[in-house]
Amino acid sequence: MINKGKLFVISGPSGAGKSTVIARLLKRLDNTYFSISATTREPRRGERNDIDYHFVSREKFESMIANDELLEWAEYVGNYYGTPAAPVDEKLNAGYDVILDIETKGAAEVMKKRPEAIGIFLFPGSFEILEQRLRARGTDSEEKVLKRLDQARRECEKVDMYQYVIINDRVETAADEAVAIMTAEKCRTAERKHYFV
Amino acid sequence: MINKGKLFVISGPSGAGKSTVIARLLKRLDNTYFSISATTREPRRGERNDIDYHFVSREKFESMIANDELLEWAEYVGNYYGTPAAPVDEKLNAGYDVILDIETKGAAEVMKKRPEAIGIFLFPGSFEILEQRLRARGTDSEEKVLKRLDQARRECEKVDMYQYVIINDRVETAADEAVAIMTAEKCRTAERKHYFV
């Protein structure tokens, strides 16, 4: 008997280190699938279709919206971004756990559609640390850093929507916590009732 | 700021391997306290007071019952066994996680008094494996083995009372799962609200 996989939604402000933690997670856990977003924006240099994104036309994306084929979607600087439901459900039904990396608004949409989803919020530990990290990148203007911080504060106000918070002050500890959460969720009594027969 | 510790109640049928898993757990986790039961039975050879049990008189135990100083208690073959509340609360308030190893009836009592307690049920994976283990011990008569199996079946009927089930088919995996559950429970959003200030 194969149990269905579990759906995990990971959010966190820009600079929280989501991609690094998720990369470690995927290395350590078997049967885990990282969802690929669909977008209408042009591929950047080095980006591969169906690996980094599903690059689709505006018409295609709009038909996906019309047919309710997306778990969540948003328009950002003139381009659509969204999570196609079909590959997620396919993987879940095959027993894979699925990870979505989405911002708080998309997360809220997913959790409404899939109330069984497990929400995990990644945070660097304090807004001071977040600010240091954003400045240390050296890529953003002062204005952009302040805008990102403001955005982060607004995202953090939604933290109660998530069941778990991971503090990413050390990436190793954060990955340990993420693995622990995903392992623990597989130990839920409802997941293991079939042993008692 | 010190968060209060969390209370974990671990149950499982005789032969599930609770003591082995708990011993591994205690080696791997800091700030974790294993609760010591009080009993009126005579110490056995090698048993040390306040380490293996709090050995107390019948009068003392009955006054603890009367004063509601026990989280749970039971009488078994003429002796009292129970969990004194004071040392548990002391450790929880000091930020330690506390583990209770108790059978399902005591666990139900604790969870009624402390609804925030996290219940973990340990199971060998199947009743066949349990039977093999009980027979492999070679210490019990056929009658006693059957009695223990019957008891195990009745305990397993209470599994929905527990949030988590650990399958102890390999002690390493079982200890990993126990550590994961305890780690994940420390990542609950409510435990980490103080980071977002």
The residues of B whose Cβ lies within 8 A of any Cβ of A are 121, 123, 125-126, 156, 159-160, 162-167, 176-177, 179-181, 183-185, 187-189, 191-193, 195-196
Among A110-114, A142-146, B135-139, B176-180, which is the least confidently predicted range?
Answer: B135-139
The rounded percent of chain B whose pLDDT value lies above 90 is 88
What pLDDT sits at residue B15? 86
Residue A138: predicted pLDDT: 80
| Tally of CB atoms within 10 A around A112 | 11
Work out the mean pLDDT of chain A and round it to a whole number.
94
Q: What angle do CA A52, A57, A62 make, to 5 degrees?
A: 110
Whole-angstrom distance, CA of residue B184 vs CA of residue B178 = 10
Residue in B with minimal Cα distance to A192: B165
The predicted pLDDT at position B1 comes to: 53
Distance, CA of A171 to CA of A174 (rounded, Å): 5
* Residue predicted with more confidence, B6 or A16: B6
From chain B, the residues in CB contact with A156 under 8 A are 196
Look at residue B190 in the predicted model and tell me its pLDDT. Answer: 94
Q: Which residue has the tokens 């009080």?
A: B38
3-state secondary structure of A115: coil
Contact of A116 with A7, CB cutoff 8 Å: yes
Mean pLDDT along residues A101-127: 96
Q: Kindly indicate the confidence band of residue B165, based on its pLDDT and cuts at 50, 70 and 90.
A: very high
Tokens 């709009």 correspond to A62
- What is the nearest CA distance from A109 to chain B, expressed in angstroms? 19
DSSP per-residue letters across A65-85: HHTT-EEEEEEETTEEEEEEH
- Characterize the bridge pairing of strands B79-84 and A38-39: unpaired
N residues, chain A: 197
DSSP structural state of residue B15? T
The partner residue sitting opposite B177, judged by closest CB among A121, A187, A193, is A187
Look up the ipTM and state it.
0.91
Banded model confidence at residue A1, pLDDT cuts 50, 70, 90: low
Chain A residues whose CB is inside 8 A of the B162 CB are 189
Cα–Cα distance, B104 to B166 (Å, whole number) = 15
pLDDT at B77: 87
Cα–Cα distance, A10 to A32 (Å, whole number): 14
Instruction: Return the pLDDT at B70.
Output: 98
On chain A, the residues whose CB falls within 8 A of the CB of B167 are 192, 195
B99 neighbors B18 (Cβ within 8 angstroms): no
Backbone CA torsion sign across B83, B84, B85, B86: negative
Confidence of residue B197 (pLDDT cuts 50, 70, 90): confident
Q: Please tell me which of the candidates A126, A180, A185 has its beta carbon nearest to residue B195.
A: A126
How far is residue A49's CA from residue B88's CA, in Å, rounded to a whole number? Answer: 56
- What does pTM read for this prediction? 0.93
The pLDDT assigned to B159 comes to: 97
Q: Which residues pair with A100 in a beta bridge?
A: A9
Does residue A122 carry a pLDDT above 60? yes
Residues contacting B165, CB < 8 A, separation 6+: A187, A188, A189, A191, A192, A195, B120, B121, B122, B123, B159
Q: Name the DSSP letter for residue B176.
A: H
pLDDT tens per residue across span B30-50:
999 999 999 999 999 999 999
Cα radius of gyration (chain B): 18
> pLDDT tens digit string along A70-109?
999 999 889 999 999 999 999 999 999 999 999 999 999 9
**Cβ contacts (< 8 Å) between B118 and chain A: which residues?**
none
The domains found in chain B, sorted by start residue, are: 7-195 (3.40.50.300)
pLDDT at A2: 63
Tens of pLDDT, residue by residue over A131-178, are 998 898 888 888 989 999 999 999 999 999 999 999 999 999 999 999
Exposure letters A143-175 (e unless 16+ CB within 10 A, then b): eebeebbeebeebbebbeebbbbbbbeeeeebb
Q: What is the DSSP string of A93-110?
A: HTT-EEEEE--HHHHHHH
Helix residue ranges, H only, chain B: 18-28, 58-66, 85-93, 104-113, 127-137, 142-156, 171-186
